Amino acid sequence: MGQRTGVDYILPLRWDAATSRRERAELSAYLERLRDWADVVVVDGSAEPVFAEHRRAWSPLVRHIRPDRVTPNGKVAGVLTGIEATDQPRIVIADDDVRYSEAALADAVGRLGRAGIVAPQNHFRPLPWHARWDTARSLINRALGADYPGTLVVRRELAADGYRGDVLFENLELLRTVEARGGRVEWAKDLYVERRPPTPAHFRSQRIRQAYDSLAQPARLAAELALLPALLLQARRPLGYLLWAAAAVAVAERGRRAAGGRGVYRPTAALWAPAWVAERAVAAWLALGWRLLGGVPYAGGRLHAAASSRHALAGGRAQR
């Protein structure tokens, strides 16, 4: 048995019958390890009979409960339910594809001694083609600042009052909310936590949604919207695309080398950067189109906002 970290681990999920038995078995094996290190609560929004199957598999391992509320972004309902169902002063919030090691979990929790919320760095294992493609996004983000992970570690007193559940980029919303409450954000670029890659179909479905997140970051959005016109103008001198590709690779390589990344990312990881930049050049405009049409499609409805602005949160206008 490992060393317990004195932390509540909240795992919100919503699976359907199409989820493979292999995926369920792999998550079950992770939960069996994880329960030795933390008090784990799985907040499961799956419909019957999927919920019942999960209850049989996971109840002997962890607490398995349903969300006790509804929010437009269902993950937030799961997180808020989990927070109210637990009582440790330190909380880990993690997507169902995140896979902490015991050492990484202890390191992340320990950093709350000097921060209000900690954002580790995710990296994909294994690495099918679409995971390598999306890794380029992480590397560029690391080069230009920090990448947004699928897991956050937060002090309870800074999260207990909740955060907006009607935004798409819920992790950014929580980060900004904690910051507005006086908590310091630690971007732990040197703390690497594995993440399982999505299926190719799920990867494709996330292209415009990921671009929509940039609507909460105006400077980034402006840069991404400028990409497509610039690339189209370059068609007059096609050889210039080689310079664009080289620049994208150079930026991604800088991100790969930052904070010990060469020990985690493959030497060829940055070579996928031109593909991701070309994707985002188009997806940014499609995301803007969705915004003009009323918001990004999500769970049968639409989410208009990507996240609250820092100004709105500082002024107390972002409601729970």
pLDDT band at residue 317 under the 50/70/90 scheme: very low
Instruction: Quote the percentage of the chain above a pLDDT of 70.
Output: 97
Q: What is the mean pLDDT of residues 177-186?
A: 98
Output the furthest CA–CA distance in the chain (Å, rounded): 64
Range from 5-9, 25-29, 73-77 carrying the lowest mean pLDDT: 5-9
Q: Which pLDDT score, from 0 to 100, does residue 275 have? A: 98
**Sequence letter at residue 99:** R
Q: Which pLDDT score, from 0 to 100, does residue 319 have? A: 46
The conformational region for residue 19 under phi > 0 = left, psi -120 to 50 = alpha, else beta, is beta
Range 8-201 has CATH code 3.90.550.10: yes
Q: Specify the pTM.
A: 0.95
pLDDT tens digits for range 202-246: 999 999 999 999 999 999 999 999 999 999 999 999 999 999 999
Domain ranges for the chain: 8-201, 202-314
Q: How far apart are CA 207 and CA 248, in angstroms?
A: 18
